[in-house]
Structure 1
C-alpha cells in the first residue's frame, strides 16, 4: 500500500504458543501499584519496570536486545497491519493495529498530560528504539470493524487467555485489505482514548521512525469510558467548598454518591469517606476541578492522587485523611469535541476500556 499517514510494520511479539504469550503479557491497569508481584522470568513488565520504577531506560534496552538474541522475542517477516480482538466477560472489541504518522495530524489527543510522565516515555522510546504499548484511538467517521470480518474467520496468529478475557492477533498482509484499511483510516481523524503520554513523547522523537505511532484503532461502540477520581491529601472537607459558590446536596453514603455522579457529566461529590457533599459544577467535572477547585486551593500536583475506583477513592480519603473528589464521566461527544477542536480536557479526565495487552503487539526499529 502507498499511504503516507497510515503504515504497516513488522511487529515484535513473544515467541511460543498461547501459554507462553499468556504468561508473559499483561492487561494494564491505571496504576503501576497494581502490577502483579510475582512475574515470570520473561514477563514484559520485567523489560519495562526499570524504565518506570528505577528511571533506567537503558536497562530496558539491554533486556530487549538480550531477549531478541535469545529468541524470547521475535520479529515478523513482513510489514503488516494487525487485526486485534479482545473478548472480556463476554464483550467483544475488534480493531486494527497500525502505524500512524504523527506529522500527518490524523491522531488527535483529547486531554492534557503530566510532563514528567511524557518525559519518561520519551526516554524509554529513545533508549530502546521501540514502542512497547500501543496508543488506543477510535474512529470518528467510517468504522474499521467491517473491513476486518474476513480476517477474523481464520485462526489467530497469537492468542492470550486470562480468566474471563481473551486477546487475539492476526497479521494482515494481502494488498486489497491493506489498501482498504489504509484509505479508510487516512481519511478521518482518530481520537486518542488511551496513551496521551506516549503520544506526547513520540511526537517529539528525534528519530523519524519514532514519530510513527503504534496505534490500536477501535470503533466507538467497542469502548467503555469512566471517570478517574481525585484524592487530595491534607484537605478538610469543611474547607473544601469555602469560597466556591455552588449549591451543595447532602448525600447519605457512597452508594448514593455513586448514583449522583452517574447523571450527567457536570456532577462531583466531595467526601472525607464519612460525609458526602454533591455539587453540580455546570461544566465537565474534571474541567471544574482543574480550572476552579485546584487553583482555588493552591494545590500542588504531589498533593493529588488518582483513582478510577469510586469506592476505593472514598476509602482512601477516610483511611489516609483528606478529601476525595468523585467525578462524573465525560460524554464521548465531549471527548471527541475536545480532540477535534484542540480545547483539551485536563489530564486524567477519563479511562477507556479495553486496553490492549502489553506485549501482544510491539514495535522496534533499527
Structure 2
C-alpha cells in the first residue's frame, strides 16, 4: 500500500483514533505460545481465556504442564498458513513495534480504516494486561514487495515445523523463522510498508493504551501481516438494520443526495446492488439508492452514515424525539438473509455492496475513516494457534 507524496498533517478523522507508530514498520521475534491442536478452536480454549482474567495465566500454566500447550524455547518470527473453505492465507506473525509515534499520515506505519469505541478498547487493554497474554494477532494487510513474497513462497515450499487440522476444520502450517538472513530480509522489506488494519481495530487501540501506560512488555503487540497480492483476504459486506424506522423516511432522506428507485420485488432490487448503490427494504417493499461518482468518491456506506442517518435523526428530532430516541438503533449483519429476518414492516434493512481493497485503501489514503463495522475481512485464523505471553515482569 503506497502513501501519498507530500507531508500532509493527520486529518481530524484520523486524530479521532489512536496514533500510529512511525515507519519503518518492525516485527520483532517473540516466543510463540501454541495450544495443542486438539484445543485450537475448542470451546474449552475460549473458557480458559474468560473471567476471571487474573486466573488465565494459572490455567494456561496448568495446560502447559499437561502437554496441552507449548511455549517455544527461542524467539522467532512465524510464517502461519491457514486454509478454510478452500481459501488459503499466509502471513508473517511477529511482535509489532509500538514504541514510536508518527506525526503525519506519510510517516504512519499502521493505518486503521474504521471507527472504534474507546471504552471497548480500554476494556480489552485491562483484560489483556490482567491475563498477561496477547491472545491473538491483529490482521494487517499490505502489498508486499517481491523480495518478501519470494521468501514467503520459498518457506511455504519447505517442511513446516507444525502442521495440523483444528476443531473448526481449519488446516494450519507454521514455520519458525530464526535465520539471520531471513529476519534481515523481512526487516528490510517491511521498512517502506504501510500496513492497513484488516481486523483488530479495538485490540490495536488497546495495545497503544498499554504502551502509553508503560506496561512492561507492551511496547509491542501481536500482529499477522498478510500480502493482499499473494494470498488475499476476502472482503465481505456488513449490512445494517435500522430499527423502528419507516422505509418511506429512509427513501426521503436518501433522495437528498442519491437517486431512489422503488422496485417491485427482492430480485429486481438486489440486481441493482453495486459499487455505487445500496438496497433498502422493510421486508414488504424494496428500493434501490444510487449515488453518482463525486469528487470524494464516497462509498454507499459513507453516504449512508454521512448523509442518510443524519437526516433521519433530524427528521426524528423535528417530530419530537430527543436524546437516543432521535438516533436510529443499528444492528449489523454479515448475510442478506440475517439482515432480512424479522423486519415485518417495522424496521429497515440496508443492504450494502462488498467493498474492495482499493476502496478501503483509497479511503485511508484520503485521510478518512469508514464507519465502524465497515468491512469483514475473511477468513480469520482460529484462536490459540499463535499467542504471545506478556508476563507483568516483562518479556
TM over 0.5: yes
Aligned to 1:29: none
Matching residue within 296, 302, 306 for 2:332: 306
Normalised by the size of structure 1, how large is the TM-score? 0.83
Q: Are 2:160 and 2:173, in contact at CA under 8 Å, matched by a contact in 1? A: no
1:166 Cα deviation from its structure 2 partner: 1.4
- Unmatched segments (≥5 aa) in structure 2: 1-23, 101-107, 293-297, 317-323
Aligned to 1:11: 32
- Partner Cα separation in structure 1 for residue 305 and residue 352 of structure 2: 12
Compute the RMSD of aligned alpha carbons. Answer: 2.6
Aligned to 1:67: 63
2:205 is the alignment partner of 1:200:
yes
Give CA deviations for 1:301-347 in whole Å, capped at 9, x if unaligned: 8821111112210124349x411111112231221233344321111
1:137 Cα deviation from its structure 2 partner: 0.9
- Shift of the 257–77 alpha-carbon distance from structure 1 to 2, 3 Å rule, reads farther
Aligned to 1:100: 96
- Shift of the 10–137 alpha-carbon distance from structure 1 to 2, 3 Å rule, reads same
Q: Are 2:138 and 2:199, in contact at CA under 8 Å, matched by a contact in 1? A: yes
Q: Are 1:132 and 1:359, in contact at CA under 8 Å, matched by a contact in 2? A: yes
- Partner Cα separation in structure 2 for residue 73 and residue 250 of structure 1: 57
Higher helix share: 1
- Shift of the 96–235 alpha-carbon distance from structure 1 to 2, 3 Å rule, reads same
Aligned to 1:354: 379
1:204 Cα deviation from its structure 2 partner: 1.3
Aligned to 1:166: 171
Q: Are 1:121 and 1:201, in contact at CA under 8 Å, matched by a contact in 2? A: yes
Give CA deviations for 1:126-171 in whole Å, capped at 9, x if unaligned: 2112211111111235154321223222034142345764122221
2:48 is the alignment partner of 1:47:
yes
Aligned to 1:239: 249
Secondary structure of the corresponding residue to residue 271 of structure 2: helix
Secondary structure of the corresponding residue to residue 129 of structure 2: helix
Matching residue within 283, 303, 306 for 1:291: 306
Normalised by the size of structure 2, how large is the TM-score? 0.77
Q: Are 1:122 and 1:202, in contact at CA under 8 Å, matched by a contact in 2? A: yes
- Partner Cα separation in structure 1 for residue 308 and residue 48 of structure 2: 39
- Shift of the 315–180 alpha-carbon distance from structure 1 to 2, 3 Å rule, reads same
Aligned to 2:233: 223
Q: Structure 1 stretches (4+) deviating beyond 6 angstroms? A: none
- Partner Cα separation in structure 2 for residue 180 and residue 84 of structure 1: 17
2:361 is the alignment partner of 1:336:
yes
Q: Are 1:225 and 1:352, in contact at CA under 8 Å, matched by a contact in 2? A: yes
Tell which deviates more after alignment, 196-205 or 178-187. 178-187
Aligned to 1:31: none
- Shift of the 281–201 alpha-carbon distance from structure 1 to 2, 3 Å rule, reads farther
Tell which deviates more after alignment, 174-183 or 102-111. 102-111
Secondary structure of the corresponding residue to residue 338 of structure 1: helix
- Partner Cα separation in structure 1 for residue 381 and residue 119 of structure 2: 23
1:82 Cα deviation from its structure 2 partner: 0.8
- Partner Cα separation in structure 1 for residue 208 and residue 168 of structure 2: 36
- Partner Cα separation in structure 2 for residue 164 and residue 128 of structure 1: 27
- Partner Cα separation in structure 1 for residue 126 and residue 328 of structure 2: 22
- Unmatched segments (≥5 aa) in structure 1: 16-20, 27-38, 51-55
1:253 Cα deviation from its structure 2 partner: 3.7
Secondary structure of the corresponding residue to residue 217 of structure 2: helix
